[in-house]
A = this chain, B = another copy of it.
Amino acid sequence: MSTSAGCCQGCLHYVFDYETTKTLVIPSIRLGCAFRFTQLLVVLYVVGYVCVVQKAYQETDSVISSVTTKVKGFALTNASDMDPRFWDVADYIIPPKGDHSFFVMTNMVVTPEQTQTRCPELPSPSTICADDCDCTEGHSDPRGNGIQSGLCVNYSSTVQTCQVFSWCPLEIDTELPQHALLAAAENFTVLIKNSVTYPKFNFHRRNILPHINSSYLKRCQFSRATDPDCPIFRLKDIVSEAGEEFQDMAVKGGILGIIIDWSCDLDWWAGKCYPKYSFHRLDNKNPVNNVAPGYNFRFAKYYKAPDGEETRTLIKAYGIRFDVIVFGTAGKFSIVPTIVNLGAALSFLSLVPVVSDWIMLTCTKKKDLYGKLKATYLSEDAEAEAMSMGTSYGTQ
């Protein structure tokens, strides 16, 4: 017999012969039950935890979302130092584009009629002066409000401060109204239109659900108890749901997250996939270490006087920024995660005999007997004997 023929025969052996393990059957109810119970535990774990609880058989995809917001409402301010003024959407929504983040101005410090000129600095330890020597021409203090002209001028009848070149008169933002000017903003409403896509599953959905009709949308207002599907929210309700008081928040402003959770199980009929709204304040309300608490920014409206000089009205706007945050993961049955997770879990089944054997060989009364019957110990003299035996079972 040549080597190649032997090799070929060896290969054929793998194809034409079937090799199965020899086993020892032990008629023991205890061992049998222990073995099956352990197997059952593994199977229960696979079915119960991996499949039902964790849905590990699903492929997942992240949401792609588009948001439009539209605020409605108007208010009248009647502060003692100002004329009555009417405010509508174009006045208090800055910037006007209604996308996923919109700002509603609720309070403000207005500094009208500013021009590029010289005026005395606001009094502070570093700006109060006795005469011109205390002020340096061209000096600009990062915490100041302009470039010093080098003169020391009267700020009031009692205080002298360095003169600066700046937009004058300077803004005095310490006089923030303690009751929000646009307190009526709590009754404004916002319509949030949100359409989402799960590109992997080619799934599209809007937050205006199919069963909602036009007449309902015209009069409804979101309420977790009675109208959980209405996409129109009263600002006060949003703030309340986040555990805050609107009038408190309106004074210094803040950031409020409108969180839309689109987590869906697309294995069931798709109608079950609907948005879940929740509301959280995103900035820190009363931290010990807060600089610039609340939320505000400055913007200006520019005018040109008839003589061509530019003037501006500076507005330090305090208000609530609403951030619509859309998140979600959709899951759908897919063969790969199923195989991976089932396979990984089933591989534990192959550890069960190891455990059962260990129990059999250590914890049973007849462990010595079982050990002897299960394992054949190969000793030196057995080798010689075996060498003279034939290879097949039949020739014994």
Contact = CB atoms under 8 A, between A and B. Distances in A.
Contact of A54 (B213, B295, B336): B336
A332 interface: no
Interface in A8-62: 14-29, 31-36, 45, 49-50, 54, 56, 62
A84 B164 CA distance: 13
Nearest to A373: B386
A275 to B, nearest CB: 15
Contacts of A101: 97, 99
A80 B206 CA distance: 39
A17 B28 CA distance: 5
A74 B15 contact: no
A27 B9 CA distance: 13
Contact of A283 (B66, B197, B339, B393): B66
Interface stretch (A123-131, A172-180, A238-246, A286-294): A286-294
Interface stretch (A142-150, A153-161, A265-273): A142-150
B392 A382 contact: yes
A314 interface: yes
Interface string A296-308: 0111111111100
Interface residues of A, number: 152
B23 A376 contact: yes
A88 to B, nearest CB: 6
B70 A283 contact: no
A21 B353 contact: yes
Contacts of A189: 142
Most chain-B CB neighbours within 10 Å: which of A26, A165, A189, A353? A26
Nearest to A300: B90
User: Interface majority SS on A: helix, strand, loop or mixed?
Assistant: mixed
Contact of A24 (B19, B32, B210, B346): B19
Nearest to A145: B74
19 contacts: A15-B36, A18-B35, A20-B353, A20-B374, A22-B374, A23-B375, A23-B376, A24-B378, A76-B165, A98-B297, A301-B302, A340-B340, A343-B348, A346-B347, A347-B347, A369-B387, A377-B391, A379-B393, A386-B393
Contacts of A291: 191, 208, 214, 217-218
Given A22-B376, A66-B323, 11 more contacts: A15-B33, A22-B374, A49-B335, A64-B259, A66-B255, A74-B145, A88-B298, A301-B302, A343-B348, A369-B383, A379-B393
A298 to B, nearest CB: 5
A97 to B, nearest CB: 6
Contacts of A342: 344
- Please name the 10 residue pairs, one residue from A and one from B, whose CB atoms are nearest each other, closest first: A382-B394, A343-B344, A18-B31, A347-B347, A96-B299, A379-B392, A90-B300, A66-B282, A379-B394, A303-B304
A327 interface: yes
Given A97-B94, A304-B303, A336-B49, A288 B214 contact: yes
Interface string A91-113: 10111111101010000000000
A391 to B, nearest CB: 5
A252 interface: no
Interface string A323-339: 10101000000011001
Contacts of A206: 284
A360 B20 contact: yes
A327 B90 contact: no
A193 interface: yes
Nearest to A341: B340
A90 B50 CA distance: 56
Contacts of A379: 27, 392-395
